[in-house]
Amino acid sequence: MAPIDPQAVYRDRRSGHTPVGFIIGVAACSLAALAALAVIAAQGALPAGIGLTLALLPIPALISGVLYLDRLEPEPPGLLVLVFLWGAAMAGLIGLVGTAAGHELITTPTLRADGFHSASGLAVIGVAILEETLKGAALVGLLLLRPQEVDGTSDGLVYGSMVGLGFALIENIYYYTQADHYGIFNGVATTFLLRGVLAPVCQALFSSLIGAGMAYAVTTRRGRGWWAVGVGWIAAVALHALWNNALAAGVLRTVLAYVILAVVLALLLVAVYLDRRYMITLIIRYLPQYESAGYVRAADISMLSSLRDRRQARQWARLHGGLGGLRDMAEFQLAATELGLLHRRSDRRLVDDQAFADRRTELLSGMRSVTLTFLSRLNDPPRPPWAAHGPSCFRPGPRRGTPRTPAPPQSPSAPLPRIGETGPSSGAAPSAPDAPSTSSDQPSATPEP
């Protein structure tokens, strides 16, 4: 049979070409953000430079925090960049419209020499509606165009946070540039204290609520979860309006607003934790059926169900296999996680049987491929730390003869062919490619327990 492509498991994420729509989207968002920056710079290079520097300071740390929450099943970097740029572009467009209309800023209450200027209730709510609608458009687009990339609450919160951080970056540049008119200490320093870190966190929090609704809609039967997107949008607008009003209402109301926002943030973090535990439950529930066919071992399933053990496995792979070994281990872990999520989609009838079988074969082929690729890097792989007393796919035992013929795993679709078996010629899901034969000086492709 044809050799296995080591990157087959990531056909959607690491295809040989970049989609034209993605290129157009990145280019358009980048141009909008750059146009806003050019307008700001035209008003004064020094204030623009100060504003850009201060606005950038918290962003890397906050993005790192978001990605830290996304460790179990990382999202495609390209999509994360796109939604971040979308948020930046929307903030830039709002600023450009405000400049063209004769206003310094169309956003939350503007800073004056004596503090934040009070704003009418209509303006506070209207700004919240405008900003959350523009940010939420990216998440709705993701729901319509790439629903397969959203597997749970964590994914929705990650995408929502990224679009909010992009929005906050450009918005804060506008604020710092405006505050420069009132001096470094009374203007810029005060704005940094009030907005430097809190504003990006708040913007990410607001759009995360829309992302949570989007995630519910994706993981519910088609057409039945759209109401959750509307609920998330209403919650985001309400909290955003509360924050806007508090900034212009005095210290006591501002503190109360931040207490409420902190409670909401804590609830979202709890939701991320529960979603992560649920994904681990899916791995424990569904992957054992592939153990008899040799795609995964019990020790490997135990490793996959612990973030600490996953990290230790990547470190072990990096130590013994270099950067290539690290990549192989990361791809194995991601494919195994996506396999559990695929089973959940099938259970909820979010994917038909044929699509399930095709994707399952692709994921299993990828798991098998990266395992063999890792083993080919080493003459005698050391025993993995997570499999000290048993076999692992990353250190198979010696052949003792003809391997057993395992029974195919149970699934809601066509039966999965066993390793080394081509399967029926028609009427079944595409079979996983055979593992290459081994010689006396090469580890066995089909480990014997």
- The CB density around residue 100, as the number of other CB atoms within 10 Å, is 9
Identify the pLDDT of residue 416: 54
8 A C-beta contact, residue 385 and residue 398: no
Give the pair of three-digit tokens for residue 79.
Answer: 């999509």
Give the pair of three-digit tokens for residue 223.
Answer: 């057409």
- The CB density around residue 222, as the number of other CB atoms within 10 Å, is 12
Per-residue pLDDT of the chain (449 residues; tens, 9 = 90+): 333 344 444 444 444 467 787 888 888 898 888 888 888 888 778 878 888 888 899 999 999 999 998 888 889 999 999 999 999 999 999 888 877 665 544 444 444 444 445 556 677 788 899 999 999 999 999 998 888 889 889 999 999 999 999 999 998 888 888 776 666 666 677 777 777 788 899 999 999 999 999 999 988 876 678 899 999 999 999 999 998 888 777 778 888 999 999 999 999 999 999 999 999 999 999 999 999 888 999 999 999 999 999 999 999 999 988 999 999 999 999 999 999 999 999 998 888 899 999 999 999 999 999 999 998 888 777 889 998 888 899 876 554 433 444 444 444 444 554 444 433 333 333 344 343 333 333 334 334 43
307: left (phi over 0), alpha (psi -120 to 50) or beta: alpha
Find the helix packing angle between 226-247 and 251-286, rounded to 10°.
Answer: 150
Closest C-alpha among 93, 90, 95 to residue 51: 95
**How far apart (Å, rounded) are the C-alpha atoms in residues 164 and 326?**
32
Measured CA angle at 269 (ends 109, 67), to 5 deg: 85
pTM of the predicted structure, to 2 decimals:
0.80
Give the pair of three-digit tokens for residue 392.
Answer: 């692992």
Identify the pLDDT of residue 201: 94
Identify the pLDDT of residue 183: 61
Residue ranges of domains in the chain: 21-276, 291-397+408-449
Closest C-alpha among 138, 156, 173 to residue 58: 173
8 A C-beta contact, residue 22 and residue 83: no
Give Cβ neighbours of residue 238 (< 8 Å, ≥ 6 apart). Answer: 128
8 A C-beta contact, residue 341 and residue 151: yes
**How far apart (Å, rounded) are the C-alpha atoms in residues 138 and 81?**
12
Identify the pLDDT of residue 193: 74
Amino acid identity for residue 448 in this structure: E
Bridge-based pairing state of the strands 115-116 and 111-112: antiparallel
